[in-house]
Amino acid sequence: MSKISAWGNYPVIEANLIKYWDSNSLNFEDNKEYIAYGNGRSYGDSALGENIVKVREKDLFLDFDQKSGLLHVQAGVLLSEILEHFVPRGWFLKVTPGTKLITIGGAIASDIHGKNHHIEGCFSECVEEFTILLDSGKIEVCTKESNPDLWRATCGGMGLTGVILDAKIYLKKIKSKYIDQTTIKTANLKETFEAFEEYKDMPYSVAWIDCLAKGDSIGRCLLMVGDFLEDGDLSYNLKKQKSIPFNFPTFALNNLSVKAFNWLYYGKVKERISKQKVDIDTFFYPLDAIGHWNRIYGKNGFTQYQFILPKEQSLKGLEEILYEISASGKGSFLAVLKLYGKANDNWLSFPMEGYSLALDFKIEPGLFELLDKLDEIVLKYGGRIYLTKDVRVSKENFEKGYPNIEKFREYRKEMGFDKRFQSLQSKRVKI
């Protein structure tokens, strides 16, 4: 048994770790439960369980079609490894989250999204097919057409249908490693929504929001929008990371330090609208420049709380949530607001047409009570919680946000997946 956690460093558990090399690595004749684990970048307990199947070592590039951009890779390949090899050749990921340090298998299991969901949708939109090891030991190649139920259950299904082994994904052509970025500084939440709507046709958009601002300033933000330049400069190289060498003292991150950071970060932009040329890593993956940044939150760890609200309810709902957070004093200096397009057909995919907010909170007394209050507000406005970031939502609050939850549960039971693939999270929310 070994100690292991996810990126939030909470919870830390003891588990049996199994490196997956081939189907013989797992003995499906026993009565044990398994869950796949990629690079450990999900925040909570979705990839934690009694028996953890580590697939990171399955990291081979298998094939690439230069004409169509179709890339075939094993499930343990990191997005960063794809970028390192293909940006210099003029290709980029169609959909990418805010970190490049996740595996392809994890991207499918979470059906991840990025700064262009309002244009391109979730990661599953760029997946042609994937290969998955089922509970019977059978290996199946799945496409949206060949096995629609397995597709809808697996994409966003948090590893609860099997172990993803490889996938074929489409990349997109680019002509530069640089982004033409425009930053819009807003004074309050109303201005923030107006700015998002004004720039809604830009391919990429994301906002940092000051979640501790009060009164007339509540919801003020820095909205960054952009698109790739066409200057022909594809000289992409991985940057050397600076690293946090140890866990910060728990008291270091507090109401005063977060307020000070937010004031400085918001104040660094002087003009209402400014332009600059930034590279791929600066625009898409700013936190990846800091190794072990999760240690900032101390030895007790942290959780990310991410929710989404329907578009017509987003302004009112976010205003109420931001007032609750500001009043609590448990602010986050990482508060990311994004615009989303329409939901897809996958049963547990997180996005819907609207706005989401993601916030990081250190684990401390009173936090889960605050998040329970936020759950109530999210549900009141028709929203839902993101499983990839979650470590504490109740079964009742989770399932109210997902209209297809019973389809997922019934399919898992019908196929026998519920007896083989389980995580701490799946047991908590009973999926």
The residue-averaged pLDDT of 45-60 equals 96
Tens of pLDDT, residues 336-357: 999 999 999 999 999 999 999 9
What does the pLDDT read at residue 337?
97
pLDDT interval class at 264 (50, 70, 90) = confident
Instruction: Assess if residue 81 is contained within a domain.
Output: yes
Instruction: Assess if residue 431 is contained within a domain.
Output: no
Query: Phi, psi at residue 266, to the nearest 5°?
Result: -65, -40
- pLDDT score of 24 more than 80: no
Let me know whether 328 and 357 are in one domain. Answer: yes
- pLDDT score of 240 more than 90: no
- pLDDT score of 221 more than 80: yes
Amino acid letter, 14: E
Let me know whether 135 and 190 are in one domain. Answer: no
- pLDDT score of 251 more than 80: no
Query: Phi, psi at residue 416, to the nearest 5°?
Result: 80, 10
Tens of pLDDT, residues 373-421: 999 999 999 999 999 999 999 999 999 999 999 999 999 999 999 999 9
Is the CB of residue 3 less than 8 Å from the CB of residue 14? Answer: yes
Is the CB of residue 55 less than 8 Å from the CB of residue 105? Answer: yes
Strands 242-243 and 290-291: parallel
What does the pLDDT read at residue 13?
97
Question: Residue 184 maps to which CATH number?
Answer: 3.30.70.2520
C-alpha 319/C-alpha 210 separation (Å) is 12
CB-based burial of residue 365 (10 Å sphere; 0-12 exposed, 13-18 middle, 19+ buried)? exposed
pLDDT interval class at 237 (50, 70, 90) = confident
**End position of a domain, from candidates 174, 193, 228:** 174
Per DSSP, the residues of 290-345 read EETGGGGG-TT-EEEEEEEEEHHHHHHHHHHHHHHHHHHT---S-EEEEEE----S
Residue 420 backbone class (left: φ over 0; alpha: ψ -120 to 50; beta: rest):
alpha
List the beta bridge partners of residue 91: 173
**End position of a domain, from candidates 174, 194, 213:** 174
Let me know whether 255 and 383 are in one domain. Answer: yes
Let me know whether 162 and 202 are in one domain. Answer: no
Is the CB of residue 37 less than 8 Å from the CB of residue 55? Answer: yes
The answer to whether the peptide bond before residue 310 is cis (omega within 30 degrees of 0) is no
Note the pTM of the prediction, 2 decimals.
0.96
How many domains does the structure of the chain reveal?
2
Cα–Cα distances (Å) from 89 to 71, 77, 171, 233, 236, in that order, read: 13, 18, 11, 11, 10
What does the pLDDT read at residue 397?
97
Tens of pLDDT, residues 139-163: 999 999 999 999 999 999 999 999 9
Instruction: Assess if residue 412 is contained within a domain.
Output: no
**End position of a domain, from candidates 151, 174, 197:** 174
- pLDDT score of 30 more than 90: no
The residue-averaged pLDDT of 128-144 equals 95
What does the pLDDT read at residue 161?
98
Residue 120, SS3 per DSSP: helix
- pLDDT score of 335 more than 80: yes
Instruction: Assess if residue 114 is contained within a domain.
Output: yes
Let me know whether 139 and 151 are in one domain. Answer: yes
The residue-averaged pLDDT of 126-150 equals 96
Domain that residue 165 falls in: 61-174
